[in-house]
Structure formats: C-alpha cells, structure tokens
Chains A and B, each alone.
Chain A
Amino acid sequence: MIKFEQVSKTYSGGQQALSKVDFHLEPGEMAFLTGHSGAGKSTLLKLISIMERPTVGNVLINGHNLNNISRNQIAYIRRDIGMIFQSHQLLMDRSVFDNVALPLVIEGHSRKNIASRVMAALDMVGLKTKAKHSPVMLSGGEQQRVGIARAVVNRPPLLLADEPTGNLDPKLSMEIIRLFEDFNQAGVSVLIATHDLGLIARMKYRTLTLKQGKMITDGLEQNDEGVS
C-alpha cells in the first residue's frame, strides 16, 4: 500500500529530517510509527500526503510513484487518504455535521447522500447525537472522534494519523485506537504516528521506529529507544 524506497528529505535550512528510509506497508495492514519528537515522524506522513516532496528517493502508494503526481493532482490524491491530526483541524465555526460532510461536499455528492453518509460516520465514532453541536462544545476526545469521522466519511483505502491520542488520557486513547482497529478490520490500511509507547506496548502491531531520520526498527519487537 505504502512503499518508501531510499527516501531522504532535507529541508531548505540543511536540516536532514529523513535519510534513506525504506519500508513497505502491505494493503490492509495496520502499523505504528514511533520515535522522539523531531525524529521525522511528521515528515514521513507529510511525504505520503504530499505536503512535502522527498529530496531523494521514491514514495509509492498502491504502486504509483508520488514523484509523478503534479501539483494539480494532489487534491485528488488526498481524497484517497483519510488524515487525522493531533490538532483535529476542525472548523470551529461550523457544526459537527458540516465538518464531517466537508470531504463529500468537495467531491460533489448529493445532499441526500451526504446526510446518510455523515450520519453513518458519526454513528461509527459514537457521536450521532451531537451532529448539530459546534466542535467547541465537545471534549478533546470527542473532537478527535469528529476528525476521525471526517477522515473515514468518504471510505478511503488508507488512513494516516499524526499523534491522534496526543492530548488524551489512556482510556480515551485506547478507545481511539479501537476505532482504528475497526476500520482496519474493514480492510483499510492504517498508519499511526505516536510517541505513546505504553499504548503501542499493549497492542501487537508492527512498529516502525525512527531515530534521527533513520528507520532503526521495523517489526513487532518492543523497543526502548523512544520517549519514556
């Protein structure tokens, strides 16, 4: 599903964020991406969603090299990737319903179709009753779940999450991860960047660890390199 081939990324200031990263996430696989802050987790996710371009190397999604994707095509690429952010990236002046509906509005779905799909997505994250609320009225965990509903509302084959549990207590974090497991069981490939090692320890999923831009472990084994 996602394949990195000798990918390096150097920012214009000369700071090397990733160097020669190689990995392959199989279709339908769920994996964690971990490492210190500044280890390159966010950069790696940005290369997948084409917010950044690699300096060297190739990033492939489903066999398509992202280097061949033009600027005008990026929008269409992002419609295939559900993205979840630590800062939610919700529009605070719109209702929960409108926030979740945004990807469908952009794709030009009919009103009826939008309504049924948004309600289905909100049902999945347990927020069906709060569709008309403003995101401001919701708790942190609920806001994060609105973000997840928005990411999955157009049923993308790939989900990326950047610190989705960053501001949440362990119980809420677990609930969020369970949600990702549900989507994964429905066939969606999931990549979660997190430095919450306690969380990873309780799950038996593949873990990719970055240290100073290098992929140091790739597997199920526990590592103690991360933030304690």
Chain B
Amino acid sequence: MSILFKGRQHGAKQQGISRIQLFVMFFVDHLRQSLYSLGELYRTPFASLMTIGVLGFSLTLPGTLYIVVKNTEQISEQWQQASEISLFLRSDISDANAKQLVKRLSVWSEVESISYLPADKALEEFEQLSGLGDAIGYLEENPLPAVLLVVPTSRHATPTAASLLLDKLRQEREVELGKLDIEWLERLYAILDVAKELVFLLALLLFFAVVLIIGNTIRLNIMNKKDEILVMKLVGATDAFIHRPFMYTGFWFGFIGGVFAWLTISIVLFWIDWNMQDTLALYNLNLDITGMDFGAIGVMLLISVGLGLMGSFLSVRRHVRDIEPQ
C-alpha cells in the first residue's frame, strides 16, 4: 500500500493473490534467493573457498579439542575402575596374623581380591626397582612394612565408595596406614576441568574471529555491489530486501564451513586413532576414539551457520545503510 497515494497498491496485493499463495511464494522466493547466493559463491570459487576454509579450520580446532577432552574423560573412567587400596600393616604384626587378616577381609562383599606382600618381599622388590642394590644391605633392619593390596569390586570402585571402604579398612587393628590410589585421578579431573575451560575460551576467541572475518568478506561483497545497491535503493528497495542475498551468503559460508570442519575433524580423528593404536597397545589399553555423534554434528553446524549469519548481519546493517544515492 502506498504511503503517498491512497488506493495505489503495490506488488502482490495489486494482483489479488490469496494468502496461501503469498505464503508459498514467500518460501519459493527465499529458496530462489538462497540458491542465487550459493551460485554467487560458485562464481567466485577461490575467494569463497578461502573464507570457507578459514571458517572450517577455525571450527576444527575447538571441535577436535572437544573430542580429545571427551575421550580423555572416557579413558580415565576405565582407570577409575582399576583403583586399588594399599594397606600398610603395623610392623609388630606377624606373618601369620597378616594372613589371618587377608582371610578375614577377603569375605567382605566390597572386596574383589587381595594380594599380600610381606615385608621382606617388599624390600626385595624395592632393591630391584630402586637400583640402590648393595646399599640396602647396610640397613640394620627392614624399614618397609608389609602391604595388602585390596582391589574393590566394581560397585565400590568409584572415588566416593572406595574412600568409604578405605575408612572401614582403617578400622582394622592390624592396619597402620591406608592409601587410596585415586588422588592422581582427582588431579587429572582437575586438569581436565581446566582443559575444558581452555577449549571453551579458545572456541569463543575463534568464533569471534570468524564473525569478524565473515563480516569483512561480506563488507567486500557489499562494496563490490555498491552500484547495484544504489540502483536498487533508487527504485525503492527496502534495506531488508538488499540485506537478504548477503544474509544468505553468510548462511552458506557458515553451513559449508561447518561441513568442512566436520570433514577435517573426521580426518584428524582417523589420523590420531591410527597413530595411537600402537602406543595404547603397549599399555594394554583399548581405546575406540568416539567421533562426533549426530547431536554434536548438529550443534556444530548450528554454531557455524549462526556465526555466518551474525557476521553478515553485523556487516550489512552497518554498510548497506552507508550506501545512499547522492
């Protein structure tokens, strides 16, 4: 409807088209424009690929780190199951008493298995491992206590359950000291938390960079089309109409960049997997690297499309406004 001339109607209204047709036309129009923008990218393949590459690689880094952190968590869960408790016995406990204790404890429901290491065996082991050799012979008496290694059942292997079990074991008369081998695990968790924060921060910075890069690319596109935008404004195009093809360009940058990142992440993971199998075999660890599931791929595509749209929105809002017929 015209502002100046009452009764003079514009466009679709003039043709008496129904609302349903208008609705369909709206989507057909948008589809056509999005394909047109895709065609524009195809017409300048080199420039487009560079922008898409920047976006793709920028997403690859946080994406890969995210997967590394996720997998490290999974491995550490494997280790957590293997946590064992070391019980150091009082030095005045005889060998026979110690064996009795082993018998008593092995019937506990929380205990999977127990191995007993007498004090002299422990010294022998220490002699071999430490390389101190003869020096140990000069000791007047064996300074090492006898040790019981208690492996909890899998139900009692979680950090909290295991420390409860440890408290219970400490109550035993023969036990001088008990130690749970999960402190390093707690440290690992703390490190992983820091790593997660770092990945998040890094991702945020890279996303910011991506928005700026796309914004700048779209700015150059706008400058290249300055004459066209001028003519469009002269014949009555609204800003939104002029924005639309650039927004679609941003959308495609984001979408194709996201797919690109997915591919590079897959390649990187395949490469890591292939390289790590030998190393892991040495540690008797079995690791299947979990790649990206559909949820993660979906989130990544959403993020990259979002970044593309944000970059182009910031650019068109600022620069299309500046182009005014003089």
User: Contact residues of A with B, CB < 8 Å?
Assistant: 49, 51, 61-62, 64, 69, 72-73, 75-80, 83, 85, 89-91, 102-104, 106-110, 113, 150, 154, 157
With A91-B227, A110-B25 in contact, do A72 and B238 touch (Cβ < 8 Å)? Answer: yes
CB distance from B31 to the nearest CB of A (A): 14
The digit string for B224-260, where 1 denotes a CB below 8 A from any CB of A, is 0001101111111111010000000000000000000
Determine chain A's interface SS by DSSP, over half rule.
Answer: mixed
Q: Judge if B4 is at the interface, Cβ distance under 8 Å.
A: yes
Given the complex of chains A and B, what is the CA–CA distance between A157 and B241 in angstroms?
23
> How far, in whole Å, are A64 and B4 apart by their CA atoms in the complex?
6
In contact, B233 and A75 (Cβ under 8 angstroms): yes
Q: Which residues of A contact B5 (CB under 8 A)?
A: 62, 80, 157
Is B3 within 8 A of A78, CB to CB?
no
Q: Which of B15, B234, B324 contacts A89 (CB 8 A)?
A: B234
A78 touches B17 (CB 8 A): no
Residues of A within 8 A of B234 (CB): 49, 78, 83, 85, 89
A-B residue pairs in contact (CB < 8 Å), sample of 20: A49-B234, A51-B324, A51-B326, A72-B238, A76-B2, A76-B238, A77-B4, A80-B8, A85-B234, A89-B234, A90-B231, A103-B235, A104-B11, A106-B232, A106-B238, A107-B10, A108-B11, A108-B25, A110-B25, A157-B8
- In the complex, whether B325 has a CB less than 8 A from a CB of chain A is yes
> Which partner residue on chain A sits nearest B9 by CB separation?
A107
Q: Is the CB of B15 within 8 A of A110?
A: yes
Residues of B with C-beta under 8 A to A110: 12, 15, 17, 25
Q: How far, in angstroms, from A73 to B239 measured CA to CA in the complex? A: 10
Task: Tell whether B29 is near chain A: CB-to-CB under 8 Å.
Answer: yes
- A-B interface pairs (CB < 8 A), number: 83
A106 touches B235 (CB 8 A): yes
With A76-B3, A77-B4, A157-B8 known as contacts, the answer to whether A89 contacts B232 (CB < 8 A) is: no
B4 & A113 in contact (Cβ 8 Å cutoff): no
Q: A91-B228, A107-B11 given as contacts; is B239 within 8 A of A72 (CB)?
A: yes
- Nearest residue in B to A90 (C-beta to C-beta)? B231
- On B, residues with C-beta under 8 Å from A are 2-5, 8, 10-12, 14-15, 17, 25, 29, 227-228, 230-239, 241, 324-326
Q: Which residues of chain A have C-beta atoms less than 8 A from B228's C-beta?
A: 91
Determine the distance from Cα of A75 to Cα of B235 in the docked complex, in whole angstroms.
8
Within 8 Å by CB of B238, from A75, A102, A154, lies A75
B241 A73 Cβ-Cβ under 8 A:
no
CA distance A113 to B235 in the complex (A): 18
Does B15 contact A109, Cβ atoms closer than 8 Å? yes
Contact partners of A77 in chain B: CB under 8 A: 3-4, 236
Report how far A97 CA is from B82 CA in the complex, Å: 77
Residue of B nearest to A85 (CB): B234
What residues of chain B lie closer than 8 Å to A78, measured between beta carbons?
A: 233-236
Residues of A within 8 A of B238 (CB): 72, 75-76, 106
CB distance from B278 to the nearest CB of A (A): 58
Q: Which of A62, A72, A91, A154 contacts B4 (CB 8 A)?
A: A62
Q: How far is the CB of A122 from chain B (nearest CB, A)?
A: 16
Nearest 4 CB-CB pairings of A with B: A107-B11, A79-B236, A78-B236, A108-B11
CB-defined contacts of B239 to chain A, threshold 8 Å: 72, 75
Interface pair A102/B241, CB less than 8 Å apart: no
A73 CA to B1 CA, complexed, in Å: 12
Separation in Å of the B172 CB from the closest CB of chain A? Answer: 82
| Residue of chain B at shortest CB distance from A153 | B235
A80 touches B4 (CB 8 A): yes
A197 CB to nearest chain B CB (Å) = 27
Contacts of B4 in A (CB 8 A): 61-62, 64, 77, 80
Q: Nearest Cβ in chain B — how far from A185, in angstroms?
A: 19
